[in-house]
Structure 1
Amino acid sequence: MTHPVVHKLHGIERIDDHAWMRDPVAVRDVLISERRRYESRIAHTAPFRQHLAAIMAGRTPETESSVSWRHGAFVYYTQIDAGREFGEFRRKRDASDQVLLDLDAFGDYVELGVREVSPDGRWLAYSIDVTGDEVYDLRFRDLSTMTDLPVSIGGTYYTGGWAEGWFYYTVVDEVYRPCEVRRYDISTGADEVVLREGDRRFELTVRATRSGTHLLITAASRDTTEVWSVADGVPESVGGRRPGVEYRCDATLDGLVTWTDEGHSEFRVVGVPPLPGERVHSVDCFDGYRVLTLRRGGDPLLRVLGDDGTSYEVHPPVACGRIVLVHNEEYLTDSVIFETGSYSEPTQWWRLTLASGVRKLLKENPRHDGYVSERLWAPAPDGVEIPVTVVRRADVPLDGTAPCLLYGYGAYEAVFDPVWDPALSAFLDQGAVFAHAHVRGGGEMGRAWWQAGRLSRKPTTFTDHIAAAEFLLDGHVSKIATRGLSAGGLLQAAVYGMRPDLWAAVVAEVPFVDVVTTMLDDSIPLTVNEWDEWGDPRRLDDFTWMLAYSPYDNVPSGDLPPLLVTGAVNDPRVLVHEPAKWVARLRANGADPLFRVEVEDGGHSGPTGRYARLHYEAEIFSFVLEALKKT
């Protein structure tokens, strides 16, 4: 029997009976046993899971091709043929059609990191993760011979760009932080350091601008950034580093365009008057135009600014929809491609003529009619209205008779704009409603929305989610299951303990639950650079508020709803011992959660293949639907 570990800090003792699970060797047999136990306990749902997966697969086109885009002398696109999980990266010129990269050749689990074609079209830099640990092997393919150079650079991250004949890329340190930018010379094999970031709160990214004039490196913490422009391998800081000031850059042929939160908390484009109520997320520069990606009132939009002073907006064509620029690699262009869609409408790709604002539909995924999306507003305890996106079949009423699955995240100012999903449609066909609560801590309502659910205000995320559930249960739906992943898994774990009476079931995927212990351990990933998101428990005030909600330190008892927890041994974001420890402590306290753990290859967000993901979703939805029918 392993002895308990006693954590002592700020005069408080915390006894951890399961600290030994931090040892990956010691815990491995337990995790294998847990996976077998899980498979045994869900065996009775196999026919229904297979039924759901078949419906999902039937709504997934056998062959899926992306919209095509131009880069240099070629037109590029991706395609997944029938029966394949990941697909190919391809290009065309005249009558030729060339497969550049076949992802199915790398195995059952594949995450693509960088995929950058050199400006002359000769070389492909690509990186692959086949385990789920988010550390990528970088390789270089000669597209004239379709052979890889005899070099594989390990320990890289998923940003990179070509400049001056070199490929610039990022590498990670021992805690998976992208801390160094290097560059590789295809012709000589030279590999050298360009910039190293010593402050462990900051992560580095690198990219080439589409104008071809700048190679940009960005160091970012949770509330501070610094950008460098690189020429001949020498970085020069653009605006320095000022605590609490964020800025980003893109480039025209004439110089850099900067947007910053200095002087305007929701960001402003330097030289452009900010408009009230708008959050500026990014600026993309093209010849004669800048396209701003914005949010206003909870909805995304684009604004096109012409160098001649013209300006107009582009909105999603459907309610509760998304709009985002995609596949725009040419600077000298008179048009751009954007993507739209929603939870109830298929993804569409459009070409926008920049001068006129005229849009042309290029491609649309298969349409499945009969689903509707709408926005409701749930009052929080402090009177703030929380946006809730509700999706259902048109023949399923919102009159308090249908069950509901509520989704939430609420951290990092992250925005999860809606995407049509065949898995979700199969769930909706069971007569259930899906609701997405855009709780504070996320970014749907701008930077202030994040600030209102971070650090000492983190509990607002949880109470917002509870308020959304209470609102829906007041005449809109009959019962609610709730789901979330990672920081959203923390949300689920928190509300599981705060209001167990509200939930027919809870799904906490890779949940961040041992908040205080993890944020005290700077030897693991995502600790130092996340103190500005969650708090630093070495400080008494931070320790106090974190301990008050940490699910591992506040385990509920009594009558609890069914709980499904997931984890993965290769997950670098939420190490598998966190959900494993929480499950063990819950069981010791009388609960009996299901624990689905990936003990081999698998990452933070579950399976990556298109059919493998559908089978995973069928597992989640079968658990949810079984619980909704029982209650």
Structure 2
Amino acid sequence: MAQIPDCEKYPYVHLKHKHRRIDNYYWLNQRDNPEVLDYLKRENDYTAAYLKSSEKFMEDLFHEMKNRIVEDDQSVPYKKNGYWYQTKYAKGKEYAISTRRKGDLTAKEEIFLDENIQAEGHSYYAVASKSISPNNQWLCFGEDTVGRRLYTLRFKDLFSGEFVGEQIEGTTGRALWAGDNKTVFYTKKDPETLRCNQVWRHTFGTNQDQDVLVYEEVNPEFDCGIYKTKCQTYIVIGSSSSTSTEFHYLPTTEPDAELRLFLPRAPKHEYSLTHYEGNFYMLSNHEGQNFGFYKCDPANPEIENWETIIAPNDNILLESVEIFKDYFVVVERKGGLVYLRVLPTHGEPAYYIPFNDPTYSVDLEVNVEFDTEELRFGYTSLTTPTSIFSYNLRTKEQQTLKQQKVLGEFNVKDYQSERIWAKGKDGVEIPISLVYKKGFKDQKRKPLLLYGYGSYGVSLDPYFSTIRLSLLNRGYCFAIAHIRGGEDLGRPWYENAKWLKKKNTFNDFISCGEHLLETGWVDKDALYAMGGSAGGMLMGTVMNMRPELWAGIVAQVPFVDVVTTMLDESIPLTTGEYEEWGNPNDKEYYDYMLSYSPYDNVEKTNYPPLLVTSGYHDSQVQYWEPTKWVAKLRDYKTDNNPLLLYTEMEAGHGGVSGRFEQLKEVAREYAFLFGLEGIKE
């Protein structure tokens, strides 16, 4: 067995609010320092040595998961501006192939971007948005070959098939064309903080140094972005924090026009903006946390002039609205589930599209056209492979356009999903979604993997996973804890677990684990936990709070050095995060963050087995956070349980690129969990 890595200590003193913190591993933030790189290598070597006996098992798991996936797959085509667009995957290839056909689906197929060709020679490759000019000739797309989420915009002539030499560096990858087929609007990031803070205008055929700054967001707590309204009438520039939004716009046919402000930002006011037939339409929380739906005349955008279409409801969160000529389709969330409500605009009664699973996920697909009765949506559940449906809003007839194929031996009837409720520490009812292979309840040994996130208002809707079958088929139950911090039960569910209420997230997750143990869903020494990013912070915190509760934990790219990171305004995800976590320059928030920050609360005690993953080029959670955490845990923990750190040296926050290469990461995590259960094949 390889020697447990030893990390040098170079004490660094953090002083804030007259409080001193000694950080022995602060030096690990010295990117490209040979001593840092050596330590990361030794940690990777140690993890590889620990998992050496599982190498064949990991390889088998990789092929098992890969062999369930249709390699030569393709998306459902959709029509836009005279062309049918489709994404395809070829057998043996890692990346997407984007195609189109002019006029109808029988026309000759054009491959306008093959990412497999573009990825050649790169260990990492990712494409951001693909924007095509209104005359259908020019493609603008963003590519990242590092994993830092800094994209270079590139251009291609789709009529000749040739790439154009000009490039735009340092962008978010997001770009769109104005109506003149020569003007491109794009967003840029601050090179240090990686905050999206600028919108630029580029004239096709000129150098980047001639580009014009159109908008700059100077408030460090706000990001900005761009999009076109569905009707293609306006280019919209949005600025947002987690509690406030503001929109400017200009006509797509007048790219040099001055920006017009729709409605100025106000504290705790969030709204969205779209346009149709001369009116603006908004979702807004100005009358209620769960948002209402409104419209107004562009000439009179003040709130007092808004017409209410749907008033806010304390029990129903309005998430989005798709506008058609004769219908509004509203995405609602109530009781922890998502619903699609259809509102005819000409007097007929509203109705809901029916769904039958006890727990499921539904979302809207690409719906480009206004003058249509067809709605496209996707549906999946923990036991139902993802399906794409076409739904006639007038006749209510439903057609399956595609259902995810699962290769190999798979029968949906072999699996069961349920939704149960746990009581939180303060009495709230917390939903838990579960899936297992039938027969699980009668097993002598019942291991369970509990997954959680609980931040930024992100809801964990249940979905089908062919990868997860490798877990279920080996006797595990998989559970999702719909804890506060997400919006699973509406906006208040999120608001009650941020700032000085953040501990509700951690207490809820622990309550879910305790409930599963008390009700016999899992054996007392077989409860495992997993979470990534902010969910990795969740893992670190609940491990500190209740180390004896967990049989093992997987923390993926975990945000664990909360106080230090939130005090460093040069780091991405700092100033923009104040409205999520609070500002530690305020002593009240400093003290509260310090009370739960995983890195700051490591103690000399026994900790459960732990696998930590990281990405060296991660722009969201810097690689040194999980690295420091592991180093400190090694110094403090009093047990002999495995503690593993694996850093992807050629990847960022999302892990390695490639459709199938990512399965190797899952195989490593599963092999770690299976090893703790003594499962070797």
Shorter-chain TM-score category? over 0.9
Match of residue 10 from structure 1 = 17
Structure 1 CA distance for aligned equivalents of residues 315 and 466 of structure 2: 34
For residue 200 of structure 2, the aligned residue among 176, 179, 182 is 182
Match of residue 78 from structure 1 = 87
Question: Which amino acid counterpart does residue 397 of structure 1 have in structure 2?
Answer: K
Maintained 8 Å contact 2:285/2:292: yes
Match of residue 393 from structure 1 = 437
Q: Deviations over 1:382-416 (max 9, x none)?
A: 11111111011123227884110110000000123
Change (3 A) 1:49 1:168: same
Match of residue 420 from structure 2 = 376
Match of residue 309 from structure 1 = 347
Match of residue 414 from structure 1 = 458
1:216 and 2:236 equivalent? yes
Structure 1 CA distance for aligned equivalents of residues 370 and 202 of structure 2: 25
Match of residue 98 from structure 1 = 110
Residue 357 of structure 1, CA deviation: 3.0
Question: Which amino acid counterpart does residue 353 of structure 2 have in structure 1?
Answer: V
For residue 588 of structure 1, the aligned residue among 635, 638, 657 is 635
Question: Which amino acid counterpart does residue 71 of structure 1 have in structure 2?
Answer: K
Change (3 A) 1:145 1:533: same
Match of residue 493 from structure 1 = 540
Question: Which amino acid counterpart does residue 157 of structure 1 have in structure 2?
Answer: T
Structure 2 CA distance for aligned equivalents of residues 363 and 613 of structure 1: 24
1:555 and 2:602 equivalent? yes
Maintained 8 Å contact 1:75/1:92: yes
Alignment: residue pair count: 629
Residue 304 of structure 1, CA deviation: 2.2
- Structure 1 segments unaligned to the other structure (5+ residues): none
1:292 and 2:330 equivalent? yes
Maintained 8 Å contact 1:295/1:446: yes
Change (3 A) 1:378 1:629: farther
Change (3 A) 1:609 1:162: same
Q: Deviations over 1:145-198 (max 9, x none)?
A: 111221111111143332222222110002111101112233666632211111
Q: Deviations over 1:288-318 (max 9, x none)?
A: 3222222111011122222213322224453
Match of residue 140 from structure 1 = 155
Match of residue 302 from structure 2 = none
Structure 2 CA distance for aligned equivalents of residues 136 and 329 of structure 1: 26
Match of residue 325 from structure 1 = 364
Q: Secondary structure at the match of 1:151?
A: strand
For residue 227 of structure 2, the aligned residue among 175, 192, 207 is 207
Structure 1 CA distance for aligned equivalents of residues 662 and 405 of structure 2: 19
1:521 and 2:539 equivalent? no
Q: Secondary structure at the match of 2:487?
A: coil
Change (3 A) 1:622 1:124: same
Residue 108 of structure 1, CA deviation: 4.2
Residue 226 of structure 1, CA deviation: 0.2
Structure 2 CA distance for aligned equivalents of residues 284 and 149 of structure 1: 36
Structure 1 CA distance for aligned equivalents of residues 134 and 417 of structure 2: 42
Change (3 A) 1:294 1:137: same
Structure 2 CA distance for aligned equivalents of residues 398 and 228 of structure 1: 59
Q: Deviations over 1:325-361 (max 9, x none)?
A: 1122233333121111122210100112233332211
Q: Deviations over 1:199-241 (max 9, x none)?
A: 1110011011221111111101010000111233422111111
1:626 and 2:675 equivalent? yes
Match of residue 303 from structure 2 = none
Residue 420 of structure 1, CA deviation: 1.9
Maintained 8 Å contact 2:288/2:314: no
Match of residue 131 from structure 2 = 116
Maintained 8 Å contact 1:453/1:461: yes
Residue 481 of structure 1, CA deviation: 0.7
Q: Secondary structure at the match of 1:95?
A: coil
The percentage of counterpart residues that share the same residue type is 34
- Structure 2 segments unaligned to the other structure (5+ residues): 1-7, 295-307
Change (3 A) 1:400 1:192: farther
Change (3 A) 1:144 1:171: same
For residue 452 of structure 1, the aligned residue among 496, 500, 518 is 496
For residue 280 of structure 2, the aligned residue among 215, 237, 256 is 256
Change (3 A) 1:162 1:352: farther
Question: Which amino acid counterpart does residue 170 of structure 1 have in structure 2?
Answer: T
Maintained 8 Å contact 1:79/1:90: yes
Q: Secondary structure at the match of 1:139?
A: strand
Maintained 8 Å contact 1:207/1:215: yes
Maintained 8 Å contact 2:291/2:313: no
TM-score, normalising length: structure 1? 0.96
Structure 2 CA distance for aligned equivalents of residues 441 and 210 of structure 1: 31
Maintained 8 Å contact 1:286/1:332: yes
Q: Secondary structure at the match of 1:584?
A: helix
For residue 198 of structure 1, the aligned residue among 218, 232, 235 is 218
Maintained 8 Å contact 1:140/1:149: yes
Match of residue 319 from structure 2 = 281
TM-score, normalising length: structure 2? 0.90
Aligned counterparts, 1:17-28, within 5 A: 17-26=24-33, 27-28=36-37
1:480 and 2:527 equivalent? yes
Maintained 8 Å contact 2:613/2:646: yes
Maintained 8 Å contact 2:606/2:637: no
Out of 147-156 and 226-235, give the one that drifted further. 226-235
Structure 2 CA distance for aligned equivalents of residues 113 and 389 of structure 1: 32
1:152 and 2:167 equivalent? yes
